[in-house]
Amino acid sequence: MDGMDLQVLAAARRWAAAGERFALVTVARTWGSAPRPAGAWLALREDGRIEGSVSGGCIEDDLSARMADGRLQGSAPFKLVYGVATEDAIRYGLPCGGTLELVVEPAPDADLLERLAALLEKRRLAARTVDLGSGAVRLENARPGDTLRWDGRRLTTVHGPQWRLLLIGAGQVSRYLAPMAQALDWAVTVCEPREEYAEGWDMAGTTLVTALPDDALLAMEPDPRLAVVALTHDPRLDDMVLLEALKSPAFYVGALGSRLNNARRRERLARHFDLSPEELARLHGPVGLPIGSRTPPEIAVAILAEMTAAKNGVRLGHRAPAPAALDPAALDSAELGAPAACGVA
């Protein structure tokens, strides 16, 4: 779940605990250019208070009006469709003729919301199914790769824990990448065992750990919603965490450095560690999209863009292969982290 959806769940639980009446509204399907994706949801309290969003605002206004005049009463879930006609799309502010199909639950089961929160706290994937025919709502474990399903009568949404990012090194790139990732609802942990770097880390909202990187990774209990990015240029720190990360369920593993530097790293990992070719192929190195980035903020943008594509299941074009014959002199200079060698090549 993204940050907005976690806020919806938290608000719904608070309102339920206080005995207040509210409805849950979920985007089941979209056509055209819809403002929010399928699976997005909001909680609407009886007094008109809204948490979350299913559109740019006009549909929320209509939902509030429906709540106020009693059209969201009862207990059985039902379907609402907005924007089928052109005049409706204009009225509700849907761009480009967009259409939204919503599932409304006028009386959500508070116990199931608590169970969902408990599963997320344990970093478990959960599938929540709303059956419009019977009115029943079911919560069960989900598997990685499960997606939203909607056949017009039964809606199943998949809810997962917050996406996490482990950054190795508290250098300049991390100072830009951490807040950018937080803006996209990532929970950011920075591992920095070097005292001279750790003392200066002051980024709000992040977690700083000073253990060795491989120990920090194992302590986080890697799962398919974890990304690991090594940024220190120090093989003594980067290599061990990469070894553990490439064998873990972490969905994204990257390492900073030039193409030559990363070619050397791959050779080193293959020669000294028990990594299969498939595991080595998971390494994003040079890390980030090849946008010609050189400065720390540009490199951070490139890294976050590639992470986002991987998270969303977007397959990107393959990079040019690393040089077949490595120049030792060039490799030595790359290992030192010269500015021209540090960017995303």
Q: Where is the domain boundary, 159, 176, 202?
A: 159
List the structure tokens of 328. 């030792």
How many other CB atoms are found less than 10 A from the CB of residue 22? 26
List the structure tokens of 197. 């770097």
Query: How would residue 339 be classed by pLDDT, with cut points 50, 70 and 90?
Result: very low
Q: Which residues have C-beta within 8 Å of that of residue 242, sequence separation ≥ 6?
A: 228, 230, 253, 255, 265, 269, 283
Are 303 and 257 members of one domain? yes
CATH number of the domain where residue 301 is located: 3.40.50.720
Are 228 and 309 members of one domain? yes
Q: Comparing C-alpha atoms, which of 120, 121, 122, 139 is closest to residue 131?
A: 139
Residue 47 has pLDDT above 60, yes or no: yes
For residues 314-327, average pLDDT: 51
CA distance 76 to 72: 10
Are 153 and 170 members of one domain? no
For residues 282-292, average pLDDT: 94
Q: What is the pLDDT of residue 34?
A: 64
* Total count of domains within the chain: 2
- Residue-range definition of the domain harbouring residue 122: 3-159
Are 142 and 246 members of one domain? no
CA distance 303 to 286: 10
Mean pLDDT is lowest, of 27-31, 63-67, 320-324, for 320-324
Are 190 and 320 members of one domain? yes
Are 28 and 175 members of one domain? no
For residues 235-245, average pLDDT: 94
Which amino acid is located at 62 in the chain?
Answer: D
Q: Comparing C-alpha atoms, which of 132, 126, 106 is closest to residue 5?
A: 126
Q: Where is the domain boundary, 159, 178, 202?
A: 159
Q: Where is the domain boundary, 159, 183, 207?
A: 159
For residues 189-199, average pLDDT: 96
Are 110 and 191 members of one domain? no
Are 249 and 276 members of one domain? yes
Whole-model pTM over 0.75: no
Are 146 and 176 members of one domain? no
Are 319 and 228 members of one domain? yes
Are 333 and 286 members of one domain? yes
How many other CB atoms are found less than 10 A from the CB of residue 204? 7
Are 145 and 176 members of one domain? no
